[in-house]
Structure 1
């Protein structure tokens, strides 16, 4: 038998395989795959072995959502399929009656959503419980929980406390009414950076709260938390002295808000820049908080009694505020909105009520040239239609604008001010050609009479337009034909 040379001694000259079809390039395939839904990616796997190997990770890289209704083979969401491809899964949502049956090690898993779902009637947890799922996945960074009270027991929270990389817990519509379970939960929060509690119920003693060490907490949201009175919640906030963002919604707040303002004045939270506060706080109490705050960059005081006193206090933050939400504040006047647009150079998002076109024209120049989202009802009197081009020209200066809602979030108007921004070319729409970043346009709360030429202008001028909202023309047949043009271009109807 002839001797064969050692493999290491062989010199192999690779042969270049010519690529005659651009779709054979992996870069092109991955680019295409990034735009496809999971079911379309599944079809692409059948093209060839090369496509299968390249695109399979993309199927599992997208959010994997499981529920009792969606557990069907074409989507590959059966427990055994998840475990077979576990190394690709990064974001997992389990909305199932028995979430423990999906317990496995997912090496790249960083976000986990649990619920809503209920355990079987016998309240047993076959095939492992949620504690195992947590312990098997130390890579978790975020856990989002909704309506899973039966599972949220002390062993589960002990496992959560042991996750080395966990930064965020979000809980909604859950009840923890056992004292040991509640204590285990609060202890697990000591390593958190972000905590969001929405419509949750906790049985918790104030002495447990005051013993917590929450110095790692950067963002805290307390949205109508039950069984924790206002002062217990304030004591929780006081434990988070490195807070950067606070969202606090409570039903009764007279005493707590006043004490919160005093704590602000004493610089208890030196890093706090984002503030979102409760409903129906009086103008005077809001002013006290705004006066006490050192430096606000994000301010959400929607549905509060924001008025002339708090407006005066808010001026000291005009040079730093980037996001401002005044929606639903009945005391906000058109002059206040115009002053904000003329005084906040770093403003990026503004939500408000009504600003009159005449106040814009007669007021000073806007300095918020970095604005990306404008949701304010721009209103014209019946004899003020000649102001339309001037308003379009003013908006055209906001060259960074991505989201425009000229009807704002207003669902009523005074009778003498019924006319809104008219999105037609002969009224001045063409001035907005400079807004190359436009992605979202809402015509809600406005009366529009657009025609095909306006729609084609938008598609040609706003290449990044993705979503349009509202009625484009008051005649239904014309409105539907305009929508056909937008949908054919891939623009979504919201």
Structure 2
């Protein structure tokens, strides 16, 4: 029994006397010191159902005390069918002593109203310092009183910065009022069927605050339907429906009608201009913008006029992003001056600009009141020649100084020294004029809150990163440059395994396959992972039998990053290996049920060498694709650089088994005729395609589309809270709590 890892019990309380005797031995878990998952249904005895709630307190507390003492390695606790009052007096707070706890699921039908502070222990500093990540808390609330009661748990969880997602399963929409009133900005995934919302539109959903909250979780089709129900709904859901507008250039079928923009201009708070669309966008009616994003492959002087008009007419802008893929750097004196007149501006991303001394001083003065700054490929004069460089950037939390910024390592460090609140840093080491001890000293002394670090360079020596990683207190996100990694750096990375949520090393050949396997099997908090390659032998722990037969014994080490949302790695080493190997690898992937992006393509998208698919992980049902049916959240699938030999059955299975799949990148078949047939099936299934590896060079002059914009946001490590700004709200680019750059490659 001591080796048990999962236990499911249906137990009943053994008594309600003042002594609170509970025969824990009868549960059969007292010797399960390695127990990881525990599920229990707790019900009071029938003969004590009328006893006061206080008399159930001591037995419950004893139960939790024994659980903590006997099962110290618990990771997942589920308490179901309980009508007991789960407050600190009943001992629930004792769970804070479980250093490995990751998931806490509670189902309660208690009619007793909990106090707001009952679950305040979840937000205490002592509790947050532990590896606990209360990721999902599930409450089935059946009555108005119990709906209010569950909020005691919700408000307590709000203080736990690592609690990502709370799920409220509420059967009656009329109970929304009590729930939404007290949510107060918590990130919550509402588990409520749309038809129930429609059936209850004459009750709580008529309250604007409630309907506005629910609107965040509806698709465009559902928003359109909801907006047509009644006048009160129309005002709320129309605002969400037209809050984010994308424009692709004159005549593009994806553009909204100009009449729509004119009628709903007061609802539009986020505008995305793709390609050279700013020249023909009907901007004269927009005065309520909070965010502008521009992504263009090419940029011309004629683009500036319309964009500057937009900036001048929207002084309440909070976020401005400008990306230009190609072309000459443009003079941007008027742009910088327009931005300086936006008092609420918190976020800027600028590329491909040329600034003189005066404009550069304006830019840095502007940065002194911003939270999020990314400067890529800018031509600016030397900082030494500037007369008005701010002494401090007191509010700056995210800073990215990218390639071709024409700043030496010393000049970048001079800026970093002035950022006492920095939590996320991306810097470039442009040449060999760096000194690792100096970089380490600056980060240690001036950036005590740093939790995200990305360095881009091709000049670092092996293991140059080791002392830098060692000097940081606790990193959540690490972006590895093309050089500078090595065995010592990997050992320094061990220090951050407990807190690591994002590791991006796909551009570095120094991140080896054994290192990648170690990270996936050690970092429980991981949400984003990318590496160059992962050998099948490392995934499966293959070792040769010493009898000369070549027979290999498999000792696979399970991946533990069950929260992983993005995985980018090339799985190789499958040449002449049995089908069983592929199926075992699929079984590892199938455990990552929260995966939204899966990229198994080659790192070098434009490599013209022979793509030996039999050496890589093919996606065919015959080799085990069906095992990935658990990936219900998968949205993006990439296998660029590989010639997949899919058939119609494989493609239709993907459409049916992955309901969220919206984009596929790569060639589905080497035969052009078969490829076109399969692509048509995917398109008919509502899936966007982009076979970028072979045709990219012929299409790179076309206008930027959604996919390029999305990749650019990932490249820059965009913060959703900084871009998707609601009208009337302040922007804080670090609202995610981790201060992270969610980039795939720098």
TM-score, normalising length from structure 2?
0.53
Structure 1 residue 430 and structure 2 residue 626: aligned?
Answer: yes
User: Which residue of the partner structure matches residue 397 of structure 1?
Assistant: 591
User: Which residue of the partner structure matches residue 235 of structure 1?
Assistant: 414
Shift of 1:63: 2.5
Aligned counterparts of 2:649 and 2:278: Cα–Cα separation in 1:
52
Q: SS in structure 2 opposite 1:195? A: strand
Aligned CA distance change for structure 1 residues 99 and 215 (closer, same or farther; 3 Å):
farther
User: Which residue of the partner structure matches residue 349 of structure 1?
Assistant: 528
Q: SS in structure 2 opposite 1:320? A: coil
Shift of 1:332: 2.1
Aligned CA distance change for structure 1 residues 158 and 491 (closer, same or farther; 3 Å):
closer
Aligned counterparts of 1:133 and 1:201: Cα–Cα separation in 2:
24
Aligned CA distance change for structure 1 residues 103 and 426 (closer, same or farther; 3 Å):
closer
Mapping of residues 142-181 of structure 1, within 5 Å: 142-145=319-322, 149-153=330-334, 157=336, 160-177=339-356, 179-181=357-359
User: Which stretch shifts more, 300-309 or 326-335?
Assistant: 300-309
Q: SS in structure 2 opposite 1:332? A: coil
Q: SS in structure 2 opposite 1:277? A: strand
1:387 corresponds to which of 570, 581, 589:
581
1:199 corresponds to which of 377, 396, 401:
377
User: Which residue of the partner structure matches residue 513 of structure 2?
Assistant: 334
Aligned counterparts of 1:129 and 1:450: Cα–Cα separation in 2:
45
Shift of 1:443: 2.5
User: Which stretch shifts more, 197-206 or 371-380?
Assistant: 197-206
2:655 corresponds to which of 430, 448, 459:
459
8 Å contact from structure 1 (residues 421, 446) kept in 2:
no
Structure 1 residue 217 and structure 2 residue 396: aligned?
Answer: yes
Structure 1 residue 273 and structure 2 residue 451: aligned?
Answer: yes
Q: SS in structure 2 opposite 1:283? A: coil
Shift of 1:210: 5.5
Q: SS in structure 2 opposite 1:284? A: coil
Q: SS in structure 2 opposite 1:444? A: strand
User: Which stretch shifts more, 134-143 or 415-424?
Assistant: 415-424
**Paired residues, what number?**
445
8 Å contact from structure 1 (residues 173, 198) kept in 2:
yes
Aligned counterparts of 2:299 and 2:512: Cα–Cα separation in 1:
45
User: Which residue of the partner structure matches residue 282 of structure 1?
Assistant: 461
Q: SS in structure 1 opposite 2:366? A: helix
Deviations 1:65-101 (A, max 9, x none): 486x6699x96669xx977864343234675898999
Aligned counterparts of 1:397 and 1:71: Cα–Cα separation in 2:
41
Q: SS in structure 2 opposite 1:343? A: coil
Structure 1 residue 375 and structure 2 residue 568: aligned?
Answer: yes
Aligned counterparts of 1:416 and 1:64: Cα–Cα separation in 2:
40
1:106 corresponds to which of 277, 281, 287:
287
Cα RMSD of the aligned pairs, angstroms, is 4.0
Q: SS in structure 2 opposite 1:199? A: strand
Aligned CA distance change for structure 1 residues 32 and 349 (closer, same or farther; 3 Å):
closer
Deviations 1:335-394 (A, max 9, x none): 111111111111111111111112111142211111111111111342213311111111
Aligned counterparts of 2:480 and 2:370: Cα–Cα separation in 1:
26
Shift of 1:295: 1.1
Shift of 1:62: 3.7
Shift of 1:161: 3.4
Aligned CA distance change for structure 1 residues 96 and 329 (closer, same or farther; 3 Å):
closer
User: Which residue of the partner structure matches residue 49 of structure 2?
Assistant: none
Aligned CA distance change for structure 1 residues 202 and 366 (closer, same or farther; 3 Å):
same
TM-score, normalising length from structure 1?
0.77
Aligned counterparts of 2:647 and 2:486: Cα–Cα separation in 1:
40
Shift of 1:196: 1.0
Aligned CA distance change for structure 1 residues 264 and 189 (closer, same or farther; 3 Å):
closer
Aligned CA distance change for structure 1 residues 287 and 60 (closer, same or farther; 3 Å):
same
8 Å contact from structure 2 (residues 462, 486) kept in 1:
yes
8 Å contact from structure 1 (residues 61, 90) kept in 2:
yes
Q: SS in structure 1 opposite 2:570? A: strand
Aligned CA distance change for structure 1 residues 59 and 400 (closer, same or farther; 3 Å):
closer
Shift of 1:197: 0.6
Deviations 1:319-339 (A, max 9, x none): 111111111212222111111
User: Which residue of the partner structure matches residue 5 of structure 2?
Assistant: none
Shift of 1:117: 5.3
Aligned CA distance change for structure 1 residues 204 and 96 (closer, same or farther; 3 Å):
farther
Q: SS in structure 2 opposite 1:335? A: helix
Deviations 1:111-157 (A, max 9, x none): 1356875557xx9x8xx994x7545423210123457844524xx64
Aligned counterparts of 1:453 and 1:133: Cα–Cα separation in 2:
49
Structure 1 residue 445 and structure 2 residue 638: aligned?
Answer: no
8 Å contact from structure 2 (residues 408, 430) kept in 1:
no
Structure 1 stretches of 5 or more lacking a match? Answer: 1-21
Shift of 1:204: 4.7
User: Which residue of the partner structure matches residue 366 of structure 2?
Assistant: 188
Aligned counterparts of 1:455 and 1:66: Cα–Cα separation in 2:
30
Shift of 1:290: 1.0
Aligned CA distance change for structure 1 residues 100 and 205 (closer, same or farther; 3 Å):
farther
Aligned counterparts of 2:471 and 2:244: Cα–Cα separation in 1:
44
Structure 2 stretches of 5 or more lacking a match? Answer: 1-197, 206-214, 542-555, 691-746
8 Å contact from structure 1 (residues 172, 197) kept in 2:
yes
Q: SS in structure 2 opposite 1:483? A: helix
Aligned counterparts of 1:320 and 1:395: Cα–Cα separation in 2:
22
Shift of 1:175: 0.7
Aligned counterparts of 1:56 and 1:308: Cα–Cα separation in 2:
55
User: Which stretch shifts more, 111-120 or 326-335?
Assistant: 111-120
Aligned counterparts of 2:500 and 2:480: Cα–Cα separation in 1:
13
User: Which residue of the partner structure matches residue 140 of structure 2?
Assistant: none
Aligned counterparts of 2:564 and 2:281: Cα–Cα separation in 1:
46
